[in-house]
Amino acid sequence: MSQTMKAAVLYAVGEPLRIEQVPIPEPGPGEILIRIAACGVCHSDLHAMDGDWSDLPTLPLIPGHEITGHVAAHGSGVTEPALGTAVGMPWMYSACGTCEFCLGGMETICARRESTGYSKQGGYAEYMIAPAAFVSNIPDGTDLYALAPILCAGVTTYRGLMRSHARPGQWVAVMGIGGLGHVAVQYAIAMGFRVAAIDVGADKLELARGYGAEVLINALDNPVETVKQQIPGGVHAVLVTATANAAFEQSVKMLRPGGTVVFIGLPGGDADTVRASISSISGWELTITGSNIGTRQDLNEAIAFVARGQVKAQVSLEQLDNINDIFDRMRKGQLVGRTILKIS
């Protein structure tokens, strides 16, 4: 094994990533070394680079948190997953395991959680270390490039749909048919919901139609009125995967009485505030809730949909050397589906 590896490193927020050779990390107690096959490019990585969130990333940083690969080495005390096993590493790098949230199935909001590619080194590299207890096993024969987006986009939207409390046969609107939204549409269909897809891009709406969305709405054409015209009474739930502030405010107005909107997308910067009618929320018993990535069990369930062939992310493969160009295209809204870095 070479003693160095190629990695994309962030040294200061607001700067491009630098492609360089860095030492291969060594796994410590309870950790494994992953030889990375693929890493998805998520909008959260762009937020990390631009310093959009109040808690800034740990620098220098190797971003990336939609990681698939194989176990290359064990740290002390680790025997599983076995060497050579295919594994995935999501945004949730670790959690304490003992607080009220971890014990209550809400490890995603543990105060001591760590985040892959944000507070810990991530997957824009040939190798990374990870806690053995927090990687997911991947079924044999799974396409590691196609599965990578499920480690974030998949598990995040799956958990969001679960938290919407919508029932099969009810209407769910997905706002934003990008890297998260195109997967969300598939999970919603697989879970028995009727889907309205909302986006500004005609190509993205056609993608949603192909997955089974019944109603397609251009977000620039009075989406609230259009939803209520095509779905009398409004939708039972809205999943907001977009990052435009307007989408969050519009989503509440699309709900029918008793409905739920789930916020997933993160605007970042000064746009991180939403105005909503308190009287409408109270009078019609509407619910606004957030959903933060997913637990290890959520991830296992999300992967199972993929293993059964019910969900498949649309991916395009690119080389690590192209990462800064990929982010330029992401800023311009030019990415369709999910871009995957083909590491090995």
Residues with Cβ within 8 Å of 221's Cβ and at least 6 positions away in sequence, in order, are none
What's the pLDDT score for residue 141?
A: 86
pLDDT, the chain, mean:
93
pLDDT above 70 for 268? no
74 in Cβ contact with 32 (< 8 Å): yes
Q: How many CB atoms lie within 10 A of CB 109?
A: 15
Q: What is the pTM of this model?
A: 0.89
- Split at pLDDT 50, 70, 90, the class of 336 is confident
How far is C-alpha 82 from the chain's CA centre? 27
- Split at pLDDT 50, 70, 90, the class of 38 is very high
User: Is there a shared CATH topology between the 4-152+294-342 domain and the 154-290 domain?
Assistant: no
pLDDT above 80 for 128? yes
267 preceded by cis ω (within 30°)?
A: no
Strand partners, 116: 120
Domain boundaries, the chain: 4-152+294-342, 154-290
- Split at pLDDT 50, 70, 90, the class of 332 is confident
Phi and psi angles of residue 50, each rounded to the nearest 5 degrees, phi first: -90, -5
pLDDT above 80 for 327? yes
Reported as a single tens digit per residue, the pLDDT across 196-213 is 999 998 999 999 999 999
For 301-337, give the secondary structure using H, E and C.
HHHHHHHCCCCCCCEEEECHHHHHHHHHHHHCCCCCC
Instruction: Measure the CA–CA gap between 270 and 50, rounded to whole angstroms.
Output: 13
Strand partners, 317: 340
Reported as a single tens digit per residue, the pLDDT across 139-164 is 888 999 999 999 998 999 999 999 99
In the predicted model, what is the mean pLDDT of residues 268-275?
70
Residues with Cβ within 8 Å of 189's Cβ and at least 6 positions away in sequence, in order, are 195, 211, 212, 213
What's the pLDDT score for residue 73?
A: 97
The residue assigned the tokens 């939207």 is 157
pLDDT above 80 for 87? yes
Instruction: Measure the CA–CA gap between 138 and 25, rounded to whole angstroms.
Output: 23
For the chain, give the secondary structure using H, E and C.
CCCEEEEEEECCCCCCCEEEEEECCCCCCCEEEEEEEEEECCHHHHHHHHCCCCCCCCCCECCCCCEEEEEEEECCCCCCCCCCCEEEECCEEECCCCCHHHHCCCHHHCCCCEEECCCECCCCECEEEEEHHHCEECCCCCCHHHHHHHHCHHHHHHHHHHHHCCCCCCEEEEECCCCCHHHHHHHHHHCCCEEEEEECCHHHHHHHHHHCCCEEEECCCCHHHHHHHHCCCCEEEEEECCCCHHHHHHHHHCEEEEEEEEECCCCCHHHCCCCCCHHHHHHCCCEEEECCCCCHHHHHHHHHHHHCCCCCCCEEEECHHHHHHHHHHHHCCCCCCEEEEECC
How far is C-alpha 151 from the chain's CA centre? 7
CATH architecture, range 154-290: 3-Layer(aba) Sandwich (3.40)
Structure-block tokens of residue 296: 């290890």
What's the pLDDT score for residue 267?
A: 74
Instruction: Measure the CA–CA gap between 281 and 93, rounded to whole angstroms.
Output: 35
89 in Cβ contact with 67 (< 8 Å): yes
What's the pLDDT score for residue 140?
A: 84
What's the pLDDT score for residue 271?
A: 64
Reported as a single tens digit per residue, the pLDDT across 289-313 is 999 889 999 999 999 999 899 999 8
pLDDT above 90 covers what percent of the chain? 83
In the predicted model, what is the mean pLDDT of residues 4-29?
96
Q: What does CATH list as the number for 4-152+294-342? A: 3.90.180.10
What's the pLDDT score for residue 58?
A: 94
Amino acid code (one letter) for 274: V
What's the pLDDT score for residue 274?
A: 82
Side-chain-facing half-sphere of 150: CA atoms under 13 Å? 30
pLDDT above 70 for 253? yes
In the predicted model, what is the mean pLDDT of residues 81-95?
95
Residue 149: closest CA among 344, 315, 272, 336: 315
Q: How many CB atoms lie within 10 A of CB 291?
A: 21
- Split at pLDDT 50, 70, 90, the class of 228 is very high
266 vs 221 pLDDT, higher one:
221
107 vs 271 pLDDT, higher one:
107
